Amino acid sequence: MNRVMRHDPLPPSLFTENRARLARLLPPRSVAIVNANDILPTNADGSILMRPNSDLFYLTGVEQEESILVLFPDADDEKMREVLFLREGNEHNELWEGHKLRKDEAQKLTGMTQIKWSQDFWGMLRRMICEADHVFINSNEHKRSSCEVETRDERFIREVQRRYPLHTYRRLAPLLHECRVVKSAAEIAVIQRACGLTGKAFKRVLKFTKPGKTETDVEAEFAHEFIRNRARFAYEPIVAAGKNACCLHYQENVAPLKDGQLLLLDVGSGYANYASDMTRTIPVNGKFSKRQRSIYDAVLRVLRASTQRLAPGVLPKDWQKAAEAQMTEELLKLGLLKPKDVKKQDPENPAVKKYFMHGLGHPIGLDVHDVGDTTKPMQAGWVMTVEPGIYIPKEEMAVRLEDTVLVTEKGPVNLMGKIPLEADEIEAAMR
């Protein structure tokens, strides 16, 4: 159907309901506008394969460049309440770039009836915007975003405000974050599918890994399993042997695997644009040493307890503090921390941070570090990663373990519960 769609189509009811959820949050007489992402250049005449705009995909399922969604729930003309604008295919662009969505295909994909070509956008927007009081415009408001490249949204904001300077403009991102952080049953099913593919690839890697292979060889095993199942890496994979695992975002993935090392694997598949996120740490030779096993089991205990603490009403910062307190006790037992280190610690920089310096987890969905207000309590329907770790540069090793977990009223549901995790399971699979 769509030239970039390599996955099974998602039910249009998903996108219809997502638009309805957003519409319920809009104040009366509001227009909301969501753009596709740009196709980004590389060098010479090259370009990067476009990553669909997560907000546009959430609301429409569309993955095509130059697409624009306009929502105006209170429009007097019912045909103006939901309109999708698409780049029209022609002989030239389809020869060079491939198939463009036809109007009937877009209707089937999105559950929308009003599909227009992009050349009609500004004329139709005028009819809608002059009837509206508020204009909600989108932008990337993830707290950790550090994009230095001007986006399509930024260019659009400048142009629409130039054309209509007297309207009241408001931020769409907080409303979309509120919608997207709570996953529907259909979304959870897709994330579960991505988790299943990640587990399948990991089991392949357990049988493959041994001294003499390289980090690159292991990455290729994951790639083979993902691609043959019409999935992709949800993010750049981390395949880190020995001391490389002490670099939190190591991505070179080139070193040889040596006898006696641990291999940290932070890898997840993405299916239908939804992400999974898994970390496992395995012994290159198939057998944990006594020291490695003691550290592994310590991290696993924190992972298990932190998973059980995931519940509606829990503040993420309190969840983090509980994990740090437990990890402090584990580090004391391991001899990595001394009682005096804890007694004299700076509250702003607790002793545990020397060995466990990152966050315990994050929302995951259409983005690996998904949107959502993590200053608010968790709700049923949040999907969170849980990823404690211990990093010991002096011993040239690190252990991090991570699962993707659904928060429910009846307790956490580990979407990676079938993926080997216990040390004995890992060793048995590697044999």
Average pLDDT value for the chain: 96
**High-pLDDT (> 90) share of the chain, %:** 92
Of the ranges 3-12, 370-379, 405-414, which one carries the lowest mean pLDDT score?
3-12
How far is C-alpha 163 from the geometric centre of its chain's CA atoms? Answer: 35
Residue length of the chain: 431
At 56, the amino acid letter reads L
What's this model's pTM, rounded to 2 decimal places?
A: 0.96
What are the beta bridge partners of residue 406? Answer: 383, 413
Q: State the catalytic residue, choosing from 362, 367, 370, 403.
A: 362
Confidence of residue 5 (pLDDT cuts 50, 70, 90): low
| pLDDT average, residue stretch 11-36 | 98
pLDDT tens across 118-164, in order? 999 999 999 999 999 999 999 988 888 877 888 999 999 999 999 99
Active site residue 99: no
Locate the domains of the chain by residue range. 12-180, 185-430
Active site residue 55: no
Active site residue 249: yes
Give the strand pairing for 403-406 and 383-386.
antiparallel
Instruction: Give me the CATH code for the 185-430 domain, please.
Output: 3.90.230.10
Active site residue 424: no
Active site residue 45: yes
Active site residue 362: yes
Instruction: Give the Cβ contact number of residue 343 at 10 Å.
Output: 8
* pLDDT at residue number 381: 98
Q: State the catalytic residue, choosing from 215, 219, 221, 277.
A: 277
The span from the CA of 206 to the CA of 226, in Å, is: 15
Top-tier CATH class for 12-180: alpha beta
**1 pLDDT exceeds 60?**
no
At 247, the amino acid letter reads C
Q: State the catalytic residue, choosing from 58, 274, 355, 391.
A: 391
